[in-house]
Amino acid sequence: MAMALLGRPVRRTPAKPPTDDATDAELIDHFVSRRDHNAFAILVRRHGPMVFGVCRRVLRDPHDAEEAFQVTFLVLVRKAGSLRQPERLANWLYGVASRVAHKTKRTTARRDAHERSAAVSNVVAPVTVGPDRAEVRAVIDEEMVALPEKYRAPLVLCYLEGLTNEDAARKLGWPTGSMSYRLARGRELLRRRLARRGLVCLALWPVFLQVLTERASAGDVPDELVEATVNRAKQEPIPTTPSRHVPGLSLLLLVVLLLGFGAAAWAGWTAVNPPDNTPTFAQPPGTSGEPAATCHSPP
């Protein structure tokens, strides 16, 4: 009976489907461990407006922006198993979206230049007079990516994803009281970087803050784009989590090999140089080099 119970396959309780209120870390775990594309779709809908806003501000062509949007989330598919801080996914996606969009912009510029057979300057000229809000947001995105992560993350969550200070602090695992300081420090660093670009002065800074605080309503993601992104994700290889047992097994194997080599070396050394306290045994007659004594019968 006991053997029959042991041989019976273990039935695993099916995992509950992820919900919209699950954390980013939980959704990524569902996606990586169970290949759950519903969890991935929730992530796309949750962070899609922010990602799409970045892509549309950098890329004026709608088709290029949609392609950069999908590529950004395909990078997430490939890197999901190796994210060290999944709770900071929004900050990570912001950086990926900015890099992908700017790379697409450079590629498009080279293509257009080749088609027109005309040189296109890659130098970004300072914006001095009457920049429209799209240009301002594009430059702000570019400079925000260059900020240290600890100051960029609160700006992304509070200004681009619309979280409160308390929600952003909870999401990042920081004390609530530190969020106001980090936001103020991030805004000051951003202001200095924009000033070096000739984009902002102290008198205009409130205007740029207003632009920064606007959540990009133009970044709302069409359902068709979300569906197309999830379908492309299904065609990608399954993301894997780095095994945590391999290093331990390798170390154990190394120890066993070292012990084996040590034992073999010790056996070889003792065979050539026997220790002084090796016990000696009486040798039977005739085995040594001296002639054995012979017995003579009496005459």
Task: For residues 54 and 138, give the distance between their C-alpha atoms in angstroms, rounded to a whole number.
Answer: 8
Whose structure tokens read 């949750």?
46
Choice among 64-68, 75-79, 143-147, 213-217 with the minimum mean pLDDT: 213-217
* Confidence band for 79, pLDDT divided at 50, 70 and 90: very high
Render pLDDT for 94-146 as a digit per residue (tens, 0 to 9): 999 999 999 998 888 887 776 665 444 455 555 444 455 667 777 788 888 88
pLDDT at site 270: 61
Question: CB of 77 within 8 A of CB of 240?
Answer: no
Q: What is the pTM (predicted TM-score) of this model?
A: 0.63
Q: Where does residue 237 fall: left (phi above 0), alpha (psi -120 to 50 degrees), or beta otherwise?
A: beta
SS3 for the chain, per residue? CHHHHHHCCCCCCCCCCCCCCCCHHHHHHHHHHHCCHHHHHHHHHHHHHHHHHHHHHHCCCHHHHHHHHHHHHHHHHHHHHHCCCHHHHHHHHHHHHHHHHHHHHHHHHHHHHHHHCCCCCCCCCCCCCCCCHHHHHHHHHHHHHCCCHHHHHHHHHHHHCCCCHHHHHHHHCCCHHHHHHHHHHHHHHHHHHHHHCCCCCCCCHHHHHHHHHCCCHHHCCCHHHHHHHHHHHHCCCCCCCCCCCHHHHHHHHHHHHHHHHHHHHHHHHHHHCCCCCCCCCCCCCCCCCCCCCCCCCCC
Helices 37-58 & 24-34 angle (0-180, nearest 10)? 120
pLDDT at site 266: 63
* Confidence band for 93, pLDDT divided at 50, 70 and 90: very high
- Answer yes or no: is pLDDT of 255 > 80: no
Query: Distances from the Cα of 45 to the Cαs of 159, 169, 205, 215, 225, in angstroms?
Result: 18, 22, 32, 15, 10
- Answer yes or no: is pLDDT of 39 > 50: yes
The radius of gyration of the chain from alpha carbons, rounded to an integer in Å, stands at 35
Span 215-226, average pLDDT: 72
Domain ranges of the chain: 18-234
pLDDT at site 210: 65
Q: What percent of the chain has pLDDT over 90?
A: 27
- Answer yes or no: is pLDDT of 90 > 70: yes
Render pLDDT for 49-68 as a digit per residue (tens, 0 to 9): 999 988 988 898 889 999 99
- Answer yes or no: is pLDDT of 3 > 50: no
Of residues 209 and 284, which shows the higher confidence score? Answer: 209
Q: Look up residue 222 and give its two tokens.
A: 């069409």
Please give the mean pLDDT across all residues of the chain: 75
